Amino acid sequence: MTVVRFDRERLPEPCGYFEREGLRLVGHGRWRSAVCPFHDDTFPSLRINTENGAFRCMTCGVKGGDVLAYHRARHGLSFAQAAHDLGALR
Protein backbone atom coordinates (compact mmCIF):
# COMPACT_ATOMS: atom_id res chain seq x y z
CA MET A 1 0.00 0.00 0.00
CA THR A 2 1.35 3.40 -1.00
CA VAL A 3 0.98 6.28 1.44
CA VAL A 4 0.36 9.64 -0.20
CA ARG A 5 1.28 12.74 1.79
CA PHE A 6 0.47 16.39 1.35
CA ASP A 7 3.56 18.61 1.10
CA ARG A 8 2.77 22.33 1.45
CA GLU A 9 6.26 23.18 0.18
CA ARG A 10 5.27 21.80 -3.23
CA LEU A 11 2.41 24.27 -3.72
CA PRO A 12 3.08 26.69 -6.58
CA GLU A 13 4.46 30.16 -5.98
CA PRO A 14 1.42 32.47 -5.46
CA CYS A 15 2.06 35.19 -8.08
CA GLY A 16 2.73 32.70 -10.85
CA TYR A 17 -0.21 30.53 -9.84
CA PHE A 18 -2.75 33.37 -9.81
CA GLU A 19 -1.47 34.72 -13.12
CA ARG A 20 -1.78 31.24 -14.70
CA GLU A 21 -5.37 31.22 -13.40
CA GLY A 22 -6.00 34.33 -15.50
CA LEU A 23 -5.86 36.96 -12.77
CA ARG A 24 -4.04 40.20 -13.47
CA LEU A 25 -2.41 41.29 -10.22
CA VAL A 26 -2.19 45.05 -9.80
CA GLY A 27 -0.33 47.09 -7.24
CA HIS A 28 2.91 46.63 -5.37
CA GLY A 29 3.95 45.08 -2.10
CA ARG A 30 2.74 41.98 -0.33
CA TRP A 31 -0.99 42.51 -0.96
CA ARG A 32 -2.12 43.03 -4.55
CA SER A 33 -5.54 43.31 -6.17
CA ALA A 34 -7.33 41.49 -8.98
CA VAL A 35 -10.81 41.33 -10.46
CA CYS A 36 -12.67 38.70 -8.44
CA PRO A 37 -13.75 35.64 -10.46
CA PHE A 38 -16.28 34.58 -7.80
CA HIS A 39 -18.82 37.29 -8.65
CA ASP A 40 -19.60 39.76 -11.44
CA ASP A 41 -16.73 42.13 -10.72
CA THR A 42 -15.47 45.07 -12.76
CA PHE A 43 -13.19 46.69 -10.16
CA PRO A 44 -10.28 44.77 -8.59
CA SER A 45 -11.85 43.77 -5.26
CA LEU A 46 -9.97 40.51 -4.68
CA ARG A 47 -6.93 41.05 -2.44
CA ILE A 48 -4.12 38.50 -2.77
CA ASN A 49 -1.12 38.01 -0.51
CA THR A 50 1.81 37.37 -2.84
CA GLU A 51 3.89 35.67 -0.14
CA ASN A 52 1.52 32.94 1.05
CA GLY A 53 -1.39 33.00 -1.42
CA ALA A 54 -4.06 34.09 1.07
CA PHE A 55 -6.98 35.86 -0.61
CA ARG A 56 -10.10 37.80 0.31
CA CYS A 57 -12.68 39.57 -1.80
CA MET A 58 -13.70 42.84 -0.27
CA THR A 59 -17.07 42.68 -2.09
CA CYS A 60 -18.39 39.10 -1.98
CA GLY A 61 -16.39 37.94 1.06
CA VAL A 62 -14.83 34.78 -0.41
CA LYS A 63 -11.57 34.06 1.40
CA GLY A 64 -8.90 31.46 2.00
CA GLY A 65 -5.41 30.97 3.31
CA ASP A 66 -3.39 29.78 0.32
CA VAL A 67 -3.40 28.78 -3.35
CA LEU A 68 -4.79 25.37 -2.43
CA ALA A 69 -7.87 26.97 -0.84
CA TYR A 70 -8.32 29.19 -3.90
CA HIS A 71 -7.98 26.24 -6.29
CA ARG A 72 -10.56 24.24 -4.31
CA ALA A 73 -13.05 27.12 -4.20
CA ARG A 74 -12.61 28.22 -7.80
CA HIS A 75 -12.84 24.75 -9.32
CA GLY A 76 -15.15 23.01 -6.81
CA LEU A 77 -12.58 20.36 -5.89
CA SER A 78 -11.90 18.23 -2.84
CA PHE A 79 -8.72 18.80 -0.86
CA ALA A 80 -7.11 15.69 -2.34
CA GLN A 81 -8.00 16.53 -5.94
CA ALA A 82 -6.81 20.13 -5.61
CA ALA A 83 -3.54 19.03 -3.95
CA HIS A 84 -3.04 16.53 -6.77
CA ASP A 85 -3.74 19.17 -9.45
CA LEU A 86 -1.21 21.51 -7.86
CA GLY A 87 1.49 18.85 -7.49
CA ALA A 88 1.50 18.99 -3.69
CA LEU A 89 1.17 15.25 -3.07
CA ARG A 90 4.15 12.95 -2.74
Q: Is residue 1 part of a domain?
A: no
- Residue 62: helix, strand or coil by DSSP? coil
CATH of residue 31: 3.90.580.10
1: pLDDT strictly greater than 90: no
Instruction: Tell me how far CA of residue 20 lies from CA of 1, 4, 15, 86, in angstroms.
Output: 35, 26, 9, 12
Q: pLDDT tens-digit profile of 40-75?
A: 999 999 999 999 999 999 999 999 999 999 999 999
Alpha-carbon distance of 57 to 39, in angstroms, equals: 9
End-to-end CA distance of the chain: 14
Q: Is residue 61 part of a domain?
A: yes
Alpha-carbon distance of 61 to 82, in angstroms, equals: 21
Q: Model's pTM, two decimal places? A: 0.94
Q: Is residue 24 part of a domain?
A: yes
* Domain around 73: 12-83
Q: Is residue 90 part of a domain?
A: no
Q: Is residue 5 part of a domain?
A: no
The domain tally of the chain equals 1
Q: Is residue 34 part of a domain?
A: yes
What is the three-state SS of 8-60?
HHHCCCHHHHHHHCCCCCECCCCEEEECCCCCCCCCCCEEEECCCCCEEECCC
